[in-house]
């Protein structure tokens, strides 16, 4: 029996039996510290002798650069953006993630289909359609959901980059200014993520503590996944 | 963001499908001329999506980076942009929208490449259902003669070279198109494509197309400023 499976329809020409590595997802809203923790995890895993591939949204060789530009221009519609992201993910799956899993790597991905679905659902997409479209994605071994409440999130964003157009959901015209819009938009996203906890088996991690505290818990949980017997 | 499906917009959408060399573009051009001369507001939906999406498609093809999945997805992205920008707005405005190739091209092409038929149909669930979808049915040898006679070199993906059917590009093209035809034939019943026998004369085919289109046009908006448009295009022509 292959350890991996697809959510829906399979990618053509992929033999799941060959995939040996682990696919680990970090999810969470903007500003929650995902990339910091991916960096720490990578170092820690490599120190322990594991080969690691880290990847994330808009990093595909095929579509990454243009997708980032499309985001900046705010000219593409909702369905178009969802499909553009799907193209980016498919390219990374076929050319990075699956080859790495075949070679026995631990793949850490900064966001996965869940963020894409949450953001699209908030913008009015049909959840059933999204599930079908993203059905080509591999089911991960674990999804760690870094969670903080809205108040913590606001503080963190203010301390780092400030409010940003997309992270504030400004395209949705939800508030009078960026702060109001950010709060409403991120609350809504949090609600969508919270709904997914049970549906997709997220492992929530309280990310309101210090980086060290959060990392310690994350590390222990990742360790358990890595140690878990492959077959 | 909606699934448009069976639209209730005041406009009409007519699309043509068929393999390369079936003559569908000629037929669509003639249909356009006639509709304009009848005074309809005609919007020709070209494949001019966002430059960002186009760049990805072009680069992916040129560098042969595309797999069956990413080929399918980037074309769906392009089609979505076209739907959101060039099909829905004119349909809402009551125009007669014409499209050369539609989602059925993807259903044929992607499935031949090995993509799941069910998945690719779901992928395009947002597409507007055409008022009439014409399928120009052409035997392979007839289409091959038209293509290989006139045009420039066939391109890599057009010939289905990525499928490894043959090292010879013309042979690969033939084998690929034969499989595309099989997929189209399955779709005639599935989607109610209106099949036109494309071995008949251009005039005979066009007469049939116009007859079918005119039946579907009852109640469609006509323009009152046609004279102005004619004058404008005359003026443009005389400048050249």
Asked if residue A35 has pLDDT above 60, the reply is: yes
Dihedral pair phi/psi, residue B132, rounded to 5°: -140, 135
Cβ neighbours for A105, distance < 8 A, ≥ 6 positions apart: A21, A50, A51, A52, A53
Shortest distance between the Cα of B81 and any Cα of chain A, in A, equals: 5
Which residue does chain A place closest to B127, by CA atoms?
A79
Interface A-B, measured as beta-carbon pairs within 8 A, has a size of 109
Which residues form the domain of B189?
12-239
Report the complex ipTM: 0.89
Residue A20 clears pLDDT 90, i.e. is over it: yes
pLDDT at residue A141 tops 60? yes
Which of B55, B68, B80 comes nearest A66 by C-beta? B55
For residue B154, pLDDT beyond 80: yes
The C-alpha atoms of residue B175 and residue B179 are separated, in whole angstroms, by 7
- For residue A7, the model assigns a pLDDT of 92
CATH for A16-149+202-227, options being 1.20.1250.20, 3.10.20.30, 3.40.50.300, 3.30.1330.90: 3.40.50.300
Q: Yes or no: say if B217 and B12 are a contact pair by the CB < 8 Å rule.
A: yes
- Tokens standing for residue B36: 């304009």
Calculate mean pLDDT across residues A185-203: 94
Q: Which residues contact B177 (CB under 8 A, 6 or more apart)?
A: B19, B20, B140, B143, B144, B160
Distance CA A85, CA A60 (A): 10
Q: How far is CA B57 from the centre of its chain?
A: 17
Cβ–Cβ below 8 Å for A132 and B113:
no
Answer whether residue B55 shows pLDDT above 80: yes
Q: In which band, very low, low, confident or very high, does the pLDDT at A191 lie, cut at 50, 70 and 90? A: very high
pLDDT of residue B176 exceeding 90, the answer is: yes
Contacts of B38 (CB under 8 A, 6+ apart): B222
Residue range A123-151: mean pLDDT, rounded: 94
Q: Identify whether B127 is part of a domain.
A: yes
Radius of gyration of chain B (CA): 19
Q: Which residues of B touch A90 (CB under 8 A)?
A: 67, 69-70, 73
For residue B3, is pLDDT > 80?
Answer: no
Taking the CA of residue B201 and the nearest CA in chain A, the distance in Å comes to 39
CB contacts of A75 in chain B (<8 Å) are 50
Q: Do B118 and A61 touch (CB under 8 A)?
A: no
CATH number for B36: 3.40.50.300
Residue A94 and residue B8: Cα distance in Å, rounded?
Answer: 39
Any idea what DSSP says for residue B179?
H
Tokens of B195: 């099949």
| CA B160 – CA B68 distance, rounded (Å) | 11
Write the DSSP string, B8-37: --SSEEEEEE--TTSSHHHHHHHHHHHHHH
> Does A13 touch chain B if contact means CB atoms closer than 8 Å?
yes
The structural domain count of chain B equals 1
- Mean pLDDT across chain B: 89
Residue B230: which pLDDT band, with cuts at 50, 70 and 90? low
The pLDDT of B178-187, averaged and rounded, is 96
Which residues of chain B does A11 touch, with a Cβ-Cβ cutoff of 8 Å?
A: 69
The mean pLDDT value for B90-119 works out to 95
- The region of weakest confidence among A76-90, B50-64, B144-158 is B144-158
Task: Identify the band that residue B161 occupies on the pLDDT scale cut at 50, 70 and 90.
Answer: very high
pLDDT score for A123:
87
Asked, for residue B27, whether it belongs to a domain, the answer is yes
Token readout for B220 is 């469609």
Q: Is the pLDDT of residue A47 over 60?
A: yes
Taking residues A190-217, report their average pLDDT.
Answer: 95
Q: Chain A, 44-73: which have a CB under 8 Å from a chain B CB?
A: 61-63, 66-67, 69-70, 73
As a 3-state breakdown, chain A gives helix, strand, coil percent values, each rounded to 5, of: 55, 10, 35
* CA atoms of B69 and A9, how far apart (whole Å): 11
**Which pLDDT value is given to residue B1?**
44
- CB-based contact A28:A161 (threshold 8 Å): no
| Average of per-residue pLDDT across B2-31 | 87
Under an 8 A CB cutoff, do B81 and A70 touch?
no
Tell me the shortest Cα–Cα distance from B121 to chain A, in angstroms.
10
Chain centroid offset of residue B13 CA: 11
Rounded-to-integer distance, Cα A97 and Cα B101, Å: 34
Structure confidence at residue A95 as a pLDDT band (50, 70, 90)? very high
Q: Can you tell me the mean pLDDT for B140-165?
A: 84
Chain B contact for A210, CB < 8 A?
no
Tell me if B5 is assigned to some domain: no
Task: Flag if B73 and A83 touch (Cβ within 8 Å).
Answer: yes
**Taking 90 as the threshold, does the pLDDT of residue A165 lie above it?**
no
Of B70, B83, B116, the CB nearest to A62: B70
| Run of H or E including A186 | helix A178-200
Q: Do A80 and B113 touch (CB under 8 A)?
A: no
Mean pLDDT of A129-149: 95
């Amino acid at each position: 029996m292959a350890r991996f499976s697809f959510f829906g329809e399979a990618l053509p020409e992929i033999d799941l039996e060959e995939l040996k590595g682990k696919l680990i997802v970090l999810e969470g809203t903007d500003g929650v510290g995902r990339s910091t923790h991916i960096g720490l995890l990578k170092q820690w895993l490599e120190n322990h002798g594991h080969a690691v591939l880290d990847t994330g949204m808009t990093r595909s060789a095929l579509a990454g650069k243009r997708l980032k530009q499309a985001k900046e221009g705010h000219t593409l519609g909702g369905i178009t953006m969802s499909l553009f992201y799907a193209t980016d993910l498919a390219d990374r799956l076929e050319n990075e993630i699956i080859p790495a899993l075949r070679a026995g790597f631990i793949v850490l991905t900064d966001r996965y289909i869940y963020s894409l679905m949450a953001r699209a659902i908030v913008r009015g997409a049909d959840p059933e359609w999204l599930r079908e479209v993203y059905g080509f994605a591999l089911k991960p071994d674990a999804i760690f959901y870094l969670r903080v409440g809205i108040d913590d999130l606001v503080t963190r964003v203010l301390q780092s980059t400030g409010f940003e157009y997309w992270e504030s959901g400004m395209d949705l015209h939800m508030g009078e200014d960026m702060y109001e819009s950010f709060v409403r938009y991120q609350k809504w996203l949090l609600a969508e993520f919270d709904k997914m906890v049970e549906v997709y088996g997220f492992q929530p991690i309280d990310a309101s503590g210090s980086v060290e505290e959060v990392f310690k818990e994350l590390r222990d949980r990742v360790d358990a996944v890595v140690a878990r017997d492959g077959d | 963001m909606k699934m448009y499906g069976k639209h209730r917009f005041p406009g009409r959408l007519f699309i043509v499908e068929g393999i390369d060399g079936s003559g569908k573009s000629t037929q669509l051009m003639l249909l356009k001329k006639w509709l304009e001369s009848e005074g309809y507001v005609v919007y020709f939906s070209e494949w001019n999506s966002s430059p960002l999406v186009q760049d990805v498609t072009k680069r992916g093809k040129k560098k042969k980076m595309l797999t069956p999945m990413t080929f399918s997805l980037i074309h769906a992205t392009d089609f979505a942009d076209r739907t959101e920008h060039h099909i829905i707005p004119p349909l809402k405005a009551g125009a007669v929208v014409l499209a050369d190739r539609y989602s059925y091209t993807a259903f044929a092409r992607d499935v031949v490449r090995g993509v799941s038929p069910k998945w690719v149909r779901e992928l395009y669930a947002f597409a507007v259902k055409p008022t009439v979808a014409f399928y120009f049915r052409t035997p392979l040898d007839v289409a091959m003669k038209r293509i290989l006679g006139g045009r420039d070199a066939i391109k890599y993906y057009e010939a289905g070279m990525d499928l490894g059917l043959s090292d010879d590009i013309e042979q690969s093209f033939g084998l690929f198109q034969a499989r595309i035809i099989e997929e189209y034939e399955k779709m005639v019943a599935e989607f109610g494509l209106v099949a036109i026998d494309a071995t008949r004369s251009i005039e005979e085919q066009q007469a049939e197309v116009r007859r079918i289109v005119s039946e579907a046009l009852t109640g469609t908006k006509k323009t009152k400023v046609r004279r102005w448009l004619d004058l404008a295009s005359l003026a443009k022509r005389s400048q050249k």
